[in-house]
Amino acid sequence: MKLKSTRDGYGEALLKLGNENPDVVVLTADLGESTRSHWFKEKFPERFFQIGVAEADMIGTAAGLALSGKIAFVSGFGVFVTGRVWDQLRISVAYSNANVKIGSTHCGITVGADGASHQAIEDIALMRVLPGFTVIVPADALEATRATVAASKIYGPVYLRLGRAPLPIVTEEAEVFTIGKAQLLKEGDDLTVIACGVMVKESLEAAKVLKEKGISARVINLHTIKPIDRKSIINAAKETGAIITAEEHQVMGGMGSAVAEVVMEEYPVPMKRIGILDRFGQSGKPDELMKEYHLTADDIVLEAANILKRK
């Protein structure tokens, strides 16, 4: 199977957008190649701004460009374009409602060998509490491209959570990406697995194994964490009676928490959140780390058996 990272999908989208829209500008803080924004730079050097290793200044500069009519894509590592500059995102971008898009690569533990300092596993939590921010987590490179293009078409701040590791393609080329509309990947009625990012692939694998065991799992790709698709979550709760969430992120405050907020208010059913349990990441190969942190299809299968007992 052909593997491709979501950062590649992002870089390709920037190139496409550069051709289509002269208002698109791109910034980076010494991470042009790693974020794939250098492809844009090669084609549109006058619309590419290298800011040096100065993320706070990069966010403010992007806000200024955006407040002057540009669509400003900021490209950097997840840890450095969220927590490190959270106050800049809060005031210069969100409170000013600047049309800034954060292309946040190297999210999650699949960053691998660089270890905890470079693995953003708190970013969804940090970004979804900022008023006005849209938060998107693409599941594969194709979806990353579509999401990046979609982000350029709405006015206002958007956070795009992207990864470094090459992943299999789980969505269709011709898929239409609608911000805020979850994607139903597989029908099922015993339980629902709601996943985002790399965990979508794991969830699909888990659903196959569960099917062999006679358990019918619905799989939803919740690519937009905010605004959240309340309807498809409520339907899942009503129609399947149990929900497992799976994300490559801290369970506290992440996608699973966002889903739990809806379920708790609208239609409480047994839930289990799979994610990172209040730990930092560490060095290792992506697949080793996914095992170490219990983020595999096997872990989802295990939790499915447990949750069915609680129904």
Partner 1 sequence: MNIEELQKICLEVRRDIIRMLGEAGSGHPGGSLSAVELVVSLYFSVMRQKPQKPDWEDRDRFVLSKGHCCPLLYAVLARCGYFPLEKLLTLRKLGSPLQGHPHNLEVPGIEASTGSLGQGLSIANGIALAGRLDKKSYRVYCLLGDGETDEGQIWEAAMTANHYHLDNLCAIVDRNRLQIDGETKNIMQLEPYNEKWEAFGWKVIEIDGNNLKEISEAYAQAENIKGKPAVIIAHTIKGKGVSYMENRVEWHGKAPKKEEEEKALKELR
Check: CB of residue 144 under 8 Å from CB of residue 10.
yes
Tell how far CA 297 is from the center of its chain: 19
Q: Which is nearer to partner 1, 50 or 282 (CB)?
A: 50
Which window, 61-69, 111-119, 212-220, 233-241, contacts partner 1 (CB under 8 A)? 61-69
CB-based contacts of 97: which residues, under 8 Å, 6+ apart?
132, 156, 157
- Position 76 contacts partner 1 (CB under 8 A): no
Rounded Cα distance between 265 and 6, Å, is 33
Which one of residues 2, 45, 69, 174 is an interface residue with partner 1 (CB under 8 A)?
Answer: 69
- Position 99 contacts partner 1 (CB under 8 A): no
CA-based R_g, the chain, Å: 19
- Position 270 contacts partner 1 (CB under 8 A): no
- HSE toward the beta carbon, residue 16, CA cutoff 13 A: 14
Q: Which is nearer to partner 1, 58 or 144 (CB)?
A: 58
Rounded Cα distance between 281 and 139, Å, is 20
- HSE toward the beta carbon, residue 263, CA cutoff 13 A: 25
Which window, 90-98, 205-213, 233-241, 302-310, contacts partner 1 (CB under 8 A)? 90-98
- Position 54 contacts partner 1 (CB under 8 A): yes
Which one of residues 96, 216, 282, 283 is an interface residue with partner 1 (CB under 8 A)?
Answer: 96
- Position 81 contacts partner 1 (CB under 8 A): no
C-alpha distance from residue 307 to each of 61, 77, 192 (Å): 48, 35, 10
Which window, 52-60, 191-199, 237-245, 273-281, contacts partner 1 (CB under 8 A)? 52-60
Nearest approach, Cβ of 25 to partner 1 (angstroms)? 7
- Report the catalytic residues: 55
Nearest approach, Cβ of 71 to partner 1 (angstroms)? 11
State the binding string over 137-166 for partner 1 (x if CB under 8 A, else -): ------------------------------
- Position 264 contacts partner 1 (CB under 8 A): no
Least Cα distance to 102 among 125, 79, 68, 129 occurs for 79
According to DSSP, residue 85 is labeled G
Place of tokens 């239609």: 267
Q: How many residues bind to partner 1 according to rule CB under 8 A?
A: 32
